[in-house]
């Protein structure tokens, strides 16, 4: 479970929201192979504003993958460049080869609220 709190009196541009994290392979002898994007690590997505559930997506990894497959290859390639993931999901990415055991990953969240063009007032969404 990851819980992120946004607070303040500013506005949020939802087109700039991305989830970024570092994947650590703690096994120095075996490589970690990623067959899919970083969204595959998350089973459920819930967005709560002011104590009310706004979005709740079960099997988030599958839904996100479906929506990714339905976009054009240019969009997938651009998202992969921004998020440091393999742009061709038919190939595997290895974390741990060449002496490096960390990989920075990121992706844009699949969210109706975060994929619209209006700025969000953070002070009303604690």
**Residue 68 covered by a domain:** yes
Residue 4 lies in a domain: no
In the chain, the number of structural domains is 1
In a domain, 78, yes or no: yes
Q: What is the pLDDT of residue 84?
A: 58
Q: What is the pTM of this model?
A: 0.75
Which residues form the domain of 42?
Answer: 12-124
Residue 114 neighbours by CB under 8 Å, 6+ apart: 14, 15, 17, 47, 108
- Residue 1, in any domain of the structure: no
Q: Residue 56: what pLDDT?
A: 94
pLDDT (tens digit, 9 = 90+) per residue, 68-98? 889 898 888 887 777 656 555 555 566 666 5
18 within a domain of the structure (yes/no): yes
Q: Which residues of 89-106 are buried (b: 16+ CB within 10 A; e: fewer)?
A: beeebebbeeeebebebb
């Amino acid at each position: 479970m990851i819980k992120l709190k946004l607070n303040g009196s500013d506005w949020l541009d939802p087109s700039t929201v991305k989830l970024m994290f570092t994947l650590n392979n703690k096994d120095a002898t075996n490589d970690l192979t990623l067959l899919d994007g970083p969204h595959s690590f998350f089973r459920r997505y819930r967005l709560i504003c002011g104590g009310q559930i706004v979005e709740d997506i079960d099997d988030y990894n599958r839904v996100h993958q479906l929506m990714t497959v339905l976009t054009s290859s240019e969009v997938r390639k651009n998202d992969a460049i921004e998020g440091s993931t393999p742009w061709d999901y038919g190939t595997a990415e290895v974390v741990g080869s060449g002496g490096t055991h960390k990989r920075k990953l990121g992706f844009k969240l699949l969210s109706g609220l975060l994929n619209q063009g209006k700025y969000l007032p953070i002070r009303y969404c604690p």
